[in-house]
Structure formats: C-alpha cells, structure tokens
Chain A
C-alpha cells in the first residue's frame, strides 16, 4: 500500500496556489528547515475575506499537500471562517495522513492563522481566536548520542 492517499499525492504533485504575493496583506511562517518542515503563507484580504492565498513550503510530501489543501480550504472564506480550519479538518479533506506525519507536517492551518494574525495586527484589528492547533514541538538542534539512539526505544 502506498504511504500516501491518492488525494495527498495529487496535491503533492499538483500543488494549488504555490508562490508568494507581492505586498501581501499578511504573512505567516511556521516550522524551520532544521526540523524538516517550514511553511510560509501569504494572504490578500478584501473586506473581511481572503481574496488570495499563496504559500511556499520546504518539507515532505505531506507538508506540501497540507499547504496546498489549506490554501484551497481558506480561499474566499471570511477570516473568522478561516480561523475554524483545523489540522484534523485538513487531514480529513486529504483522505487522511500517515500517523507519523500528522503533527510535524500538518502545519498549514497554523501558518494561515498566523498570516491572518499578521494582517489584523498591521491593521489594528483585534486578534481572532485560534482554532485547534497542531501540537508542534519544535525540535532542537541537539542530536546527541542519546537522541540518535532513542530511535529504537519503545
């Protein structure tokens, strides 16, 4: 059985809305290349709606598919509605994600929410309540003997 669902592979191979927005109204960045995944979301806002969403992602197949799906789910939504997008919701739309990929790669909703926060801050608007977040523990750079070998510990 393949690692990823057909839907994940489709979004990985044909990602929607890749790119940057010049003079974006809001930018949100999560992760870092050291832990393997990094996503930057750019939004254009018209009224209270997300008129355009673009992203750039460094990461595995899941991370790219998640970014693409999140951008599709958020497109045209009001900011309040977009805040309700959850990592679980994105994974469900993708037909599921491998368990091991769920927390580290499923950061699209977080990045989109951060872009909305950025927009609201810049425009002196009150922040919106964040929905459920991926519980992303930032991995440290410390890959000592212990961490290298912890691999096999139950």
Chain B
C-alpha cells in the first residue's frame, strides 16, 4: 500500500481548495469566538457590577445605629471597655456601671436615660419606628419627649412603653422590677397583660407573671402590701378585702385595673367599690363594664383619670 502511494505522481492542488479551507476555518473560529464572548463578557460585567455594588453599598449603607453616652461618675464600660468622658453605644452593645459609676445615654433627639450604679443595659434598636433598650439589672431613669410608643425598655418581666413620660425603672438580679412614673404615662406590657401607670404611681413586675396592679405612691402602706400579696402571692380574697377597704378616690386607679384581674365573683365587689368612691359616669354602662367591654372600660378610665 505504501509502495503504491509512493508511486503516485505529485500534483499541485488548485488555489480554490486553499481558499475554501481558509474560509471554512475562519467561519469555525468566528463561531467559536461568538459562542465564547457572552461567557467572559458576562463574567466581566458581573465582576464589575459586584465591585461597583460593594463600593455603593459601603458608601450608601446607613451608619450602624448608635447613641451618645456621657460618663457622669466613675468608670462605666461600653462593650466591656472602660469609656472616656463620652462615647457611643451601638446596637447589640452592653453598657455597665459598677458601684461607683453612672452614665447618661442620649436617645437620639427624643430624650435621655440615666444609668444608675450597678446597672447593665443593652442597646437593642434605634430607628424611626422604635428606640429600644434592655435593662438586665439595676436602675435607669428615662425622660422622653416623643410620640407615644416610640421608646421601649425591655426588662426580665415586662416591657415599659413610653406614652409621653419620665420614669424610673428598677430590676433586681432575680428579674423583679419596679416602675415609678414621675411625668405622663407609661404602659407596662407582658404577654397580653397591661398596666397603665400615670405620674405619681408605681407598679411592680415579676418574672413569668408580668406587671402587677399599679398604685399611687401616696396610697396606704396596707393597700400596697395587700396588693403585692394579691398580685404575686396568691393573696386572694383576704388581700382584696384590704385593698377595697383602704382605697381612696384616687385609688380607683388600682381598682379599675383590678376589675379585669379578679374572678367574676369578685368583680361586682370591685365595681361597687369604685362606684361608691366615684359615681358611674353617664356614658358608662354598668353591664358593659362588668362584661369588661374594652371601649366601656376605656371611657371609664378616661373619666376616672380626672380624679387621680
């Protein structure tokens, strides 16, 4: 076979063959170039977009929310580092004071929170809809001038919701709390249980129970002790008897809250005591009040507030 091939005469190929071959090769290369281009162009574009995106995101992202902190006494720490005369606390960070230190947090432009000695607080949120602080233990004094329900303080046993106010909130290491309001109103809330506390009144809180019943600070000691027994020690009817007996006109704050916290059997007694102290307003239906109709109770509370 090899010999046969070697015996064949050599003949020059016509130019048209080379032209056809070159043309075919060119077409194939072009096709390959065309089919590869989108891949690397897409990769390059994606890379460029990613780079631009990273730069834009870094420039445009909102700064990490933080509040200004001012040292008032001693050496408070923010994020476990001792702070200077002033500093910042960011979302998630803790601020802690020891027995000899105090600090003040400026909550944006809405108010201030003073941190007493031996207190641990954590910044939870800072935004146009919500400014939120956690009080783990210790004592804070808040003074807020903002629309209601913008500033919140979470404690182990409830959340204090600012309704336009100034107040002090304490929480002991076991999670027991005490709210004392000096201006306006605060709502203490926990799992559907709510206590509305006006200026001059206080309210205790307990873990797994939530807010107790609010009482005015000038209420009798007997009322206050009996109320604590009723709220947190299953004081029952004997404790309720003392509260009803000790109640003055402005203690209808306490009785109004008790209406929805006592058994149905005791509700009538509480109702009768409130009405004996402050006559039932014309706009309030006795039956609806005893049925705990929310709108009726609201109207009644707004009327009673003029006597508190």
Say if A and B assemble together: no
Seen from chain B, the residues whose Cβ lies within 8 Å of a Cβ on chain A are: none
Seen from chain A, the residues whose Cβ lies within 8 Å of a Cβ on chain B are: none
